[in-house]
Amino acid sequence: MSDIHANGSLGTGTAAGTGEAGFGDYVALLKPRVMSLVVFTALVGLLVAPVPVHPFITFTCILFIALGGGASGALNMWWDADIDQVMRRTKGRPIPAGRVQAGEALGLGLALSGLSVMMLALAANVAAGLLLGFTIFFYVVIYSMWLKRSTPQNIVIGGAAGAFPPMIGWVCATGSVSVEAVLMFLLIFMWTPPHFWALALFMNSDYEAAGVPMLTVTHGKRSTRNHILVYTILLAPVALAAGFTSIGGPVYLAISVLLNAGFLWGAWRIWRRDEAQAEADKYATEKSVFKFSLLYLFLHFSAFLLEAVLKSFGMGGW
Amino acid sequence: MALRTEHEIHQRRLGRNLGLGLVLAAFVVLVFGLTVVKVTRGDPMQAFDHSARPEMVPADAAQGAGQ
């Protein structure tokens, strides 16, 4: 943290190796890209709830849910600094790059966790605050500290952490959990494994080097392809079931049918390929299915929102 | 000749301090806004200043007093 480390070679604007972080490095600790998904799904969960919420309270709730997600990201980076250093995808993160010290990430993560839980409880209700606190605990302790390095099913259980935001948004508005909130949770929960395993198929060498027991490392790529197909088949009824609740409607259902058909088609294409074919076209199918999976989730939650907007004009819903 | 104290590392510190200052200021504004919304519950807010104002009395209470 001292100027002794500073030298002329750092004049390019990079903070690498100085331990002297810029403001942007602390923002990077909060994983802003992951945060954008948290913000979007939590906002949808809050807006589609049957109880109207004041716009300023809505803004505050989403802000602190995002901050809670960011705090868990910082705690994850603190814990995973050793494996982040090994993986190509993560070695540019602030801690392995030497811009932020691990203790700083821990302090920031704990402080923001406490702040976000407390503020969400004050802005919305205690149940929402507690659910956010549980989500942070689940992501950091259950996923990062325990499951990530001990079981190839890490993604399956860990995916629950990313599935909580729309449920928290719903609880902010209603104060309780209902079948709609559970289905939004299950939609992300079931979507996460095929999404990440598609990524793992073409990022395998990274996980192998870090010693993370990703399914591709422990059971091989053939088994991973089987898992992707099975989980995508299990995902479809969950996504379609949401269409028959109060947050769904014919528009959602039509969009969901198309998206699930597309995702199933993609999973089928991944399943019928072998390694030789995948390597021949540099995992083109796996990459395209991974990209489609992002669109799949985004459009499902957009469809929930669309139904809510249509309902406000006397259309939409059943 | 005066020593040149500005270095990239000082600029970075300035950026960090400014960023933190803005975040803290935004937090104060947020808590104030939240307080106003929570206290008023969407209604106009009037402070109590120890003088009688009939418009602050709820309608049903005013009717009861008149009977």
* B8 vs A: CB within 8 A: yes
For residues A77 and A94, the answer to whether their CB atoms sit within 8 Å is yes
State the Cα torsion A241-A245-A249-A251 to the nearest 10°: -40
* B15 vs A: CB within 8 A: yes
Structure tokens at A249: 């409607």
Q: Decide if B15 and A22 are in contact by the 8 Å CB cutoff.
A: yes
Distance, in Å, from the CA atom of B5 to the CA atom of B8, rounded to the nearest integer, reads 10
Q: Tell me, what's the pLDDT at A308?
A: 96
Contacts of B18 in chain A (CB under 8 A): 23
- pLDDT for B1 beyond 70: no
What fold characterizes domain A14-177?
Tetracycline Repressor; domain 2 (1.10.357)
Find the distance separating the first CA and the last CA of chain B, reported in whole Å: 89
* B21 vs A: CB within 8 A: no
Distance, in Å, from the CA atom of A91 to the CA atom of A105, rounded to the nearest integer, reads 16
- pLDDT for B66 beyond 80: no
* A118 vs B: CB within 8 A: no
User: Could you give the angle at the alpha carbon of A132 between the alpha carbons of A131 and A135, nearest 5°?
Assistant: 85
Distance, in Å, from the CA atom of B44 to the CA atom of B26, rounded to the nearest integer, reads 24
Distance, in Å, from the CA atom of A295 to the CA atom of A191, rounded to the nearest integer, reads 12
Helices A154-174 and A126-137, interaxial angle, to 10°? 170
* B4 vs A: CB within 8 A: no
φ, ψ for residue A254 (rounded to 5)?
Answer: -60, -45
* A64 vs B: CB within 8 A: no
Distance, in Å, from the CA atom of A104 to the CA atom of B5, rounded to the nearest integer, reads 26
Q: Decide if B33 and A13 are in contact by the 8 Å CB cutoff.
A: no
Return the domain boundaries, chain A.
Answer: 14-177, 178-318
Q: Tell me, what's the pLDDT at A124?
A: 96
* CA nearest neighbour of A168 among A182, A147, A157: A182
Residue A131 burial class via C-beta count within 10 angstroms: exposed 0-12, middle 13-18, buried 19 and up: buried
Q: Decide if B9 and A6 are in contact by the 8 Å CB cutoff.
A: yes
* B57 vs A: CB within 8 A: no
Q: Decide if B34 and A15 are in contact by the 8 Å CB cutoff.
A: no
Q: Decide if B8 and A123 are in contact by the 8 Å CB cutoff.
A: no
Closest chain B residue by Cα to residue A3: B9
Distance, in Å, from the CA atom of B54 to the CA atom of A195, rounded to the nearest integer, reads 63
Residue A12 burial class via C-beta count within 10 angstroms: exposed 0-12, middle 13-18, buried 19 and up: exposed
Q: Tell me, what's the pLDDT at A9?
A: 37
Q: Tell me, what's the pLDDT at A48?
A: 97
* A56 vs B: CB within 8 A: yes
Closest chain B residue by Cα to residue A63: B30
For residues A307 and A249, the answer to whether their CB atoms sit within 8 Å is yes
Among the partner residues B9, B19, B37, nearest to A18 by beta-carbon distance: B9
- Interface A–B counts its CB contacts (< 8 A) at 40
* B33 vs A: CB within 8 A: yes
* A208 vs B: CB within 8 A: no
For residues A228 and A271, the answer to whether their CB atoms sit within 8 Å is yes
Contacts of A22 in chain B (CB under 8 A): 12, 15-16
The interface pTM score, or ipTM, of the predicted complex is: 0.78
How close A11 comes to chain B (CA, Å)?
6
Structure tokens at A143: 């996923």
**Which residue positions in chain A have pLDDT lower than 70?**
1-19, 204-205
Q: Tell me, what's the pLDDT at B50?
A: 78
